[in-house]
Amino acid sequence: MRKVLISMSICLAMFATQLYARHNTGEIMFTSILKGNAEVPAVKTDARGVVTFNLNSTMDTLFINGTFAGLSGKITGAHIHEAEIGSNGGVIVGLTSFINKNQSDSKVCLRTITKQN
């Protein structure tokens, strides 16, 4: 369930976010609050999290920072899905290797992101 919550929440984070442009730096920031009721389908859980995605001004690197709480154990997987809001979709990039306890700090170069089959 943790894996599903984290992976689906990250997916939703990419599509159901608030957009914020840092006008001084040219960066774009996406922020998402992760909750079980945002899952597809929704789940009842105490797990929650916050993930920020910062796209640099040259739009070739995405910095990801996530903090999670209320999990019943260690995070076992994380990845970004491509899907319409309210739908499940295929994985486009894995993030599991960036997990440190219940936190994630990662840098993803957009040139290297390809859809996983």
What confidence tens digit (pLDDT) does each residue in 44-57 have?
A: 999 888 888 888 88
Tell me the backbone φ, ψ of residue 22, rounded to 5 degrees: -90, 100
What confidence tens digit (pLDDT) does each residue in 98-112 have?
A: 777 766 655 555 544
Q: What is the pTM of this model?
A: 0.63
pLDDT at position 44: 94
Residue 26 neighbours by CB distance under 10 Å: 12
Instruction: Judge contact between 47 and 55, C-beta under 8 A.
Output: no
Bridge-based pairing state of the strands 90-94 and 27-35: unpaired
* CA angle 17–21–22, rounded 5-degree value: 135
Beta strand extents in 23-113 (DSSP E only):
27-35, 48-55, 61-69, 79-82, 90-94, 99-100, 103-109
Residue 15, pLDDT above cutoff 50: no
